[in-house]
Structure 1
């Protein structure tokens, strides 16, 4: 499968503007982003790239934003992808409890949990604020006797952490992208929890055949959450917990309205550099 590398240049580059650009473009199917100086480089499957659509959604001063964006793009050879992510993937530690590293990292300090992730083109290494927010939320959950669903699992990092924590009666991970579920299977096996996680390729329609869950994790963009939140509710046990991220702080009110209509109530909100993580409970 061929990928394109799209190199965006922001005429007023800062982290906030870069995150705005990510939020606007990720729904097109971009799967990975790299930050460097005034440039943001993004990767997308060649057959998903629509230049007309991209031009319509790009921020501009004329459109009310504080910056303009220009871009170039080129094809990325499959054999170059490992070199790209290896050069940009640094190990991280979440709350002194969980280390996330690649298979080639050595000599790291020991933490209670260690997750080895080789992301390829799937989202989820813990580096993005939304993934680290969700990992922090999951680290606080007692999974003893509870069933867990990871929607939009990407690399499988959350499902893997749930398995490493132990105690869960069942863990299911779902992603619509076959590349992501292939990555999740490889990563779960590499972390020796492959037998503990059921990994499925598809969307929220798969939930109709699932037994109800005690805990649902969904690190997906705002629109998909709003479209699917009733499906989450349908497959959630009473008093079950829904942990959400993938959207900005200014989207929390909209998420809360949709969640309330689906039978959830807000428990807490955590913000990290404008990205939000919300804990909901099924009434």
Structure 2
């Protein structure tokens, strides 16, 4: 059996978006590398016009080439490129094929498939570090735009009572449930936006690692979900965007508490 492989060169922050787009047109195996990623699809399913149209919007932000290959063991290739991630001295993210490292107080096991949130990206790392600084015990937590479910899983590991999550991509929701099972925790996941999510009335902690425009647009919704004294953790935006995020949050009575920065990405904490 032959496979069509697309080799994409792009910036790290665009890689996840392009992988999701290619997933929508049938590509089902992805392998990240230093310059971008490779994706494969059975050659009989490959539609050139469909792919060109899907990627045309990003022509000035990336380049790609396409070739046909014999079938490879993509799982083995992925495993050889995926390394454990140290989030802090207390937390490691690993895949199921890595050995457990007893020096860490916490660990999260992740099989990311096509979903965002492996711990390798700065925004995920920062959100997890902020979570580690906040008491989750017995609290209700909402994870909006959950991707792999890594933040929702972390909330449960930290003792959260109820964790509700949502994502607009069905494969992300499936992946989040799979990862929850890998970590022996229970979360509730809805396919859709926060307005469509199966949720409680209020949460002590709301998590949203999305992007600047969505955060600004949905800020009032986030505030409405948070209990008095509760926390809102945000990421998915650059350091230069922090002032406008603070300003928007203040419009709805959210008080800036702190932020962390890595590779020009920000994760900020607000209190209601």
Partner of 2:27: none
Shift of 1:33: 7.8
Shift of 1:254: 1.9
Q: TM-score of the superposition, structure 1-length normalised?
A: 0.78
Q: In the comparison of the two structures, how many residue pairs are matched?
A: 255
Q: TM-score of the superposition, structure 2-length normalised?
A: 0.81
Confirm whether residue 41 of structure 1 aligns to residue 42 of structure 2: no
For residues 251-283 of structure 1, what are the alpha-carbon distances to aligned partners after superposition, in whole Å with 9 as ceiling and x for unaligned? 11221222222321211121101011111111x
Output aligned runs, 1:174-193, within 5 Å: 174-193=166-185
Partner Cα distance (1:54, 1:128) in 2: 21
SS in 1 for 2:64: strand
Change (3 A) 1:161 1:98: same
Given the alignment, which residue of 115, 125, 132 partners 2:125? 132
Partner Cα distance (2:225, 2:71) in 1: 38
Partner Cα distance (2:137, 2:100) in 1: 32
Confirm whether residue 50 of structure 1 aligns to residue 83 of structure 2: no
Confirm whether residue 225 of structure 1 aligns to residue 215 of structure 2: yes
The question of whether the paired residues in 2 share the 8 Å contact of 1:3 and 1:78 is answered with no
- Structure 2 unaligned runs (5+)? 24-29, 42-46
Confirm whether residue 264 of structure 1 aligns to residue 254 of structure 2: yes
Change (3 A) 1:199 1:3: farther
SS in 1 for 2:266: strand
Shift of 1:118: 0.8
Alpha-carbon RMSD across the aligned residues, in angstroms, is 3.1
The question of whether the paired residues in 2 share the 8 Å contact of 1:219 and 1:244 is answered with yes
Change (3 A) 1:209 1:184: closer
Confirm whether residue 120 of structure 1 aligns to residue 116 of structure 2: no
Partner of 1:240: 230
For residues 215-268 of structure 1, what are the alpha-carbon distances to aligned partners after superposition, in whole Å with 9 as ceiling and x for unaligned? 011111111111221111111112211001111111112212222223212111
SS in 1 for 2:190: strand
- Structure 1 unaligned runs (5+)? 10-17, 60-68
Partner Cα distance (1:267, 1:142) in 2: 15
